[in-house]
Structure 1
Amino acid sequence: MALGFDFYAALRGLLEQVPEDKATTPRHLACALGDPVADRAVIEALGKKEFQPFEKRVSTEPYPYENIFTNFDSDKPLRRLADKQRMMAERVILDDKKEDVRRVAGVDAAYSGNKTYAACVVMDREFKITESRTAVSEVAFPYIPGYFAFREAPITLSAAREASGFDILLVNGHGIAHPRGCGLATYVGIELDAPTIGVARRLLVGDIGAERGGWAPITLGSIIVGAKLGGKGRSPVYVSVGHRVSLETSVEIVRDFQIDGGLPEPLRVAHSRAIEMRNSARRSPA
């Protein structure tokens, strides 16, 4: 299945199957898409103007069971995307493939309506910006827990591929600290065949252990999948391997590029520039 899968087109195709004398529910639509966890995304999508013609075909209130339509013809695309993540997780390299790290890039995106804006910023170890690239695209996938890569990887890859000369890419998301071992940072790393590190401000999965050496391990089962940095009066960040880098190096790189904790500078600046792009677009005449 292509990375550019259009969630909204798939949802529209399901809604068109509902007979006029019946209705379905967001939960049944999510299951037909392949994962009940998508029910919130379905509800949000149904609020869009393009789905108003299907308003009477979806019920969020109690409805006679015999009138609930569930017999969808669907290949359950979310299940196939989840399988893709599991297969990609098997390709992750957890060893350092770049010994001399001089330039580190950060990439992040911001959203407004059906548009997404991304910035990729490259810095050297003196925090000098050596390159900055941007990208803009249409949003074809909502936020669904565990499927964030399919929402943000397309625009992330577009911005990162415009940049050159970085040794490691910091991604605002998780790497292997993910239910299927393949978050945004891992997906992007494998697609680029480049070292990537996931840096997030919220924990997605795993348990946090006792601090050691200034960071606390994040474990999933018996496996260490990431590290918690910070806390004790400042907001923590959750670091995990994306691809072609060790956890120890990931922690070291993030720390080297932090100023007073928080997001490392390449990622912080990329985040700010993506926000600026979004805000500028909002101010521009339609």
Structure 2
Amino acid sequence: MDDLNELATLLAKPEPATEAIARSRGRLQDRMRGRTARRRTGWLVPSLALAAAAVVTVLATGVIAPAGTPASGKDVLLMAAASAERTPEGAGRYWHVTREYRDADIPSRESWTTRDGRRWSRGRPDAPAGVVVPDPNPLRLKGAEVSIEELEGLPTEPAALVARIAALPGLARDMTSSEQRGDPLFSLVALISELPAPPEVRSAAFRALAATPGVENAGEVEDGQELRFPNPDGGPEIRTVVDPASARVIRTNYLYGGDGGVAWGPSFVWVTAGWTDQPPR
């Protein structure tokens, strides 16, 4: 049984002879989902809060960690993978993505994409402010156009997904140096953030990211866990806030987006993505 299935089994079916561990596991899950009685006003919470809540941490390997051990970056990503696999894809006519730059004087950006590839956007630099306009830019992976049908056909096992990403031709002028070397990190981030990948593919992407050398959990923040990845191109580290319960990227400081655009800055970019029947407006 692989790491994800062991973790999902432990989270979903506690052993009857260990009620105390099950209660502690439940409290950990609640904390990871953000179900606290008090709404936090700031992003950062002392890391001791998560450690104190995690009386017992169930690690991805199925080992029970001692009291006070916070979830690792790998653990958080595997929890998100388990959540992604159990979460329905959702329905709607449009794949709707919003980027918000809350700490900078930069307008938010939205896009709507239909399953046949038609797109509209608001907030493009070459368009009137606040106006929705047709957008000729397609969805992209490794800089090259990708259809929703192709995304739905991606492998659902992490090793196979990484191999498929490496085999994609890409578009060299729009790829990072690491992508040109075959590193899948930015493509995997795009699959869990802005691209309309189905749940099983998102789960595989989370599992592949869990195997990234050097990934760390910086601790609990507002709405999720802040994960940090070494930048494969040698730049500033990649900081991404993931909600492991909903398997969603909440915000990131480096977004190699599904429309081919790169967003990076010292502060975060807030991301929301999902299917909707609300038309562009």
TM exceeding 0.5:
no
Q: Which has the higher strand share?
A: 2
Q: Which has the higher helix share?
A: 1
By relative contact order (CA 8 Å, sep 6+), the higher-ranking structure is: 2
Larger radius of gyration: 1
